[in-house]
Structures are given as structure tokens and as C-alpha cells.
Homo-oligomer: A and B are copies of this chain.
């Protein structure tokens, strides 16, 4: 199996919650379980470590990342910088606006159905489409990594409903603001969104005695 494919497969498994945040990933046993050699697995680990999905400590192996409070704060700081900046410069005519609307509707349908994993995915899709407004592959890549890390924080908290349900209407507000009141208003809405979302995550962390 190609190492990139392997890294992608591992990434998907981690994001799906197959491995708990903080869980130690033994090279020997995981290699056996995935039916690849240790060397191949190690190459995949390097990729994931660069993505921030696993943490690599020399001579002590890799574990699934488990974002600390400081990490969460930093992730949201970076998100604010990137997402708000992009939105402020965005055009409501960009094709990606349609994608944002699709994801929003998917999230709203998910709320109706009470399917919180769908809501979570759609909310993230909304913000991914938002970043695509920038037409910058590098910003999209960076943002994608931020979302992947953040998803680990969500996994540690595990309460998808309270983490995602309240934010569907906020995403609606962001999109409406972009279309009706212009990019600056949308950026302001988004900043509120992110501040509130960060507050929720940090609150849950505090209740858990951190992540």
C-alpha cells in the first residue's frame, strides 16, 4: 500500500474515533494489525505528525494527539485569523458560496433528524467551503489541519450535540450576512461564532478536568 494512502487511511480511522485521543500507537502491534511493515507505518506516522494528528516523542513513539487547553486556544486563534480574514475579503458571488449553502442545509437536515455526527461533518464542511472562498490551496491545507486537530478535541469531549447543534443557526447567520450585508458583517458574525465555539470547548474541557 502506498504510504500516502496508508496515512490517509490512518487519518480517517483516527478522525472516526477508532483510536482514542492520547492513545499510544505501538509500531509493532499496529503494523501487524494493519498488515504493513513497521517501516511503512513509520513513514505514515511522519506524515500524520506533521498534520498534528499524532504526537511523536523521540524514543517514546507516537500517540494520538490530545489537544490541551493551550492547543484549543491556539487552534481558535488561528481559525479566527484565517477564516475571518478570508471572509472579509470574500465575494458573495464566489462558487463556493453554493457549497456553503449545501453544507448548511445538510446540517439543518441533520438537526431535524437528530443525527449529530452528520451535523458535525456538515458544520465543518461549511467552514471548509468558507476557506475555499480564498482560492488558496495553502490556506485550505492549513485550515484542514486545524479542523482535524479540533476534531480530536471534539472526540475527547464526545458531546456532539452541545458542540454542534447551537452553531447551525450561527452558520446560517454568517451566510445570510455575507449575501445580504456584505463581507465585513459576515466576518463579524463569524468572529462571534468562533468565540462562542471556543468558549464551549474550553468549558467542556474544564468540566472534564482538561482533555
| B134 adjacent to A138 (CB under 8 Å) | no
| Partner-contacting stretch, out of A73-81, A97-105, A178-186 | A73-81
A82 lies within 8 A of chain B by Cβ: yes
A46's partner among B47, B58, B136, B138 (CB-CB below 8 A) is: B47
Supposing A4-B58, A51-B50 touch, asked if A139 and B78 sit within 8 A by C-beta, the answer is yes
CB < 8 Å: which of B4, B74, B134 contacts A81? B134
A3 proximal to B (CB < 8 A): yes
Copies of this protein in the complex: 2
A5 to chain B: closest residue by CB? B58
**Across the interface, do A138 and B75 meet the contact criterion of CB distance under 8 Å?**
yes
What DSSP secondary structure best describes chain A's contact surface?
helix
Chain B, residue nearest A44 (CB): B46
Q: Is A23 an interface residue (CB 8 A)?
A: no
Partner of A42, one of B43, B81, B137: B43
Shortest CB–CB separation between residue A42 and chain B, in angstroms?
A: 6
CB distance from A27 to the nearest CB of B (A): 12
A118 to B101 Cα, complex, angstroms: 49
| Residue numbers in B under 8 Å from A26 (CB-CB) | none
Q: Are A77 and B4 in contact (CB under 8 A)?
A: no
Partner-B contacts on A (CB < 8 A): 2-4, 39, 42-43, 46-47, 49-52, 56, 58, 74-75, 77-78, 81-82, 84-86, 89, 134-139, 142, 146
Given A39-B39, A77-B135, A81-B134, list of 6 further CB < 8 A pairs? A74-B138, A77-B134, A81-B86, A81-B139, A82-B82, A138-B146
